Amino acid sequence: MASINRRGFLKSAAALSAFPLFAGTEISVPKETLKFIHVTDSHMDLADSDSVEAMELMASQINSHYPDLDFVLFGGDNFNNNVPGSKDAERFKAIIDTLHCPSYVVRGNKESSPVPADDPIGPAAFREMFMHDKALTVSGNDWFFEKKGYAILGLDSNIEHANNGRYSEATMAFAESVLKQGKPTIILNHHPYTNYWKGTEAKDIHKYVLNNTEVAQERLFGYSNLILTLSGHKHIDNVGEIKGTKVIVTRGFVRPLDLDMFPMRYVELSQRKITEKLIYTS
């Protein structure tokens, strides 16, 4: 295969972009189409039966309308972690376990900020409950797996008992170790990399934008095989780009468009193309 410049394939279309590869490097393009859904910020709360029913609707809709998915990714603030014990985590897990395909989960600030503060669903309990899939290679609170020639990284961007986030050195090093393998890579995390909503208050930006985003962009987005990132936290939808990498923040599931229309994002990676669209339950 001839060398391919990663930016040579980039297109301006909102839902369809080119697949960036290693600049000046020969690399095989995965032949199979990868299909998945990104769900973030569901904020399932046992005190709010509607939020539980919304998650059950999500699973039912995915099973009915997207039978050929490879997996579903959950991007943090999945449950509000505000009841003593692990009942909310267990209910969330029971729901996603009804999906017809595997599901993979990262924490958000809700999972890392339990109420009460000594709630047992801390990092260790979260790993035990949500990171036991044999497909996963786990390092601390981070994980990765490979599917159809792609590497999918789940990175923990949380600071314990805080709403703001940053990547630890261990997380950054783990991500780099996977990126160095050269496979086209997707990163799932909770905190977005940019002030895409153009906020003006420093406190707001500090809360929502990954606090060491400059370092993350320098160290991780410098890899040509990082093709896509998926985040949440702000609940506002956005599709952008950093150094040729498609950067998506999916609208919070907790923000329905209308009655029972809860948002998710459908993504396909096929040959050199990334196709994505916001979808809704109904």
The residue with tokens 């998710």 is 264
What is the tally of structural domains in the chain? 1
In a domain, 49, yes or no: yes
Please write down the HEC assignment for all residues of 44-71.
ECCCCHHHHHHHHHHHHHHHHHCCCCCE
pLDDT of 27: 57
The CB density around residue 49, as the number of other CB atoms within 10 Å, is 9
Asked if residue 225 lies in contact with residue 267, where contact means CB atoms within 8 angstroms, the answer is no
Residue 1 lies in a domain: no
Q: CA-CA distance, 264 to 272, in Å (whole number)?
A: 23
Q: What CATH number does residue 224 fall under?
A: 3.60.21.10
E strands of 40-164, at which residues? 71-74, 103-105, 137-139, 142-147, 150-154
What residues make up the domain containing 109? Answer: 6-280
| Per-residue model confidence as pLDDT tens for the chain (282 residues) | 222 233 333 332 333 344 444 443 445 689 899 999 999 999 999 999 999 999 999 999 999 999 999 999 999 999 999 988 899 999 999 999 999 999 999 999 999 987 776 666 788 889 999 999 999 999 999 999 999 999 999 999 999 999 999 999 999 999 999 999 999 999 999 999 999 999 999 999 999 999 999 999 999 999 999 999 999 999 999 999 999 999 999 999 999 999 999 999 999 999 879 999 999 998
Answer yes or no: is 72 within a domain.
yes
Give pLDDT, residue 153. 98
In a domain, 119, yes or no: yes
Residue 207 belongs to some domain of the structure: yes
**Radius of gyration (Cα) for the chain, nearest Å?**
18
Q: What pLDDT does 271 receive?
A: 80
CA distance 144 to 73: 12
3-class DSSP state for residue 90? helix
Give a three-class secondary structure readout of 1-37: CCCCCHHHHCCCCCCEEECCCCCCCCCCCCCCCEEEE
Cα 201 to Cα 169: distance, rounded to the nearest angstrom: 27
Whole-number pLDDT of residue 45: 96
Query: Is residue 228 within 8 Å of 248, Cβ to Cβ?
Result: yes
> Distance between CA atoms of 209 and 234, rounded to whole angstroms?
9
The reported pLDDT for the residue numbered 85 is: 84
Is 38 within 8 Å of 263 (Cβ atoms)?
no
54 domain-assigned: yes
What confidence score (pLDDT) does residue 28 get? 65
Element holding 274 (H helix, E strand): strand 273-280
